[in-house]
Amino acid sequence: MKPDNFYYQFLGKILGLGTLFLFPLITVELTAFPPVAVAQQPQNSALSPNQLQNIAQGITVKVISGESSGSGIIIKNQNQV
């Protein structure tokens, strides 16, 4: 085997392996930044605005404790609490 032929075979193997190592980097780059979701317009509700307001008033609470206050929604009733 001639030295020149060995050199080209070795260079071909190095370049081939180097190319194979680049493929995982490309896929990592593509998956690192997933596409951003675009907000969709809300679909028409089966309830009217007045019905939604009545439901919201029924589950909305204001909490007052000493000098602190807050607000929230009722998730589950337990007796009088």
- d(CA 63, CA 71) in angstroms, rounded, equals 6
Q: Domain segments of the chain: what residues?
A: 3-33+51-73
Instruction: Determine the pLDDT at residue 2.
Output: 56
Which tens digits make up the pLDDT trace of 47-74? 888 888 888 888 888 888 888 888 887 7
* 28-66 exposure pattern, b = at least 16 Cβ within 10 A, e = fewer: eeeeeeeeeeeeeeeeeeeeeeeeeeeeeeeeeeeeeee
Instruction: Determine the pLDDT at residue 55.
Output: 86
The phi, psi pair for 80, rounded to 5°, reads -95, 0
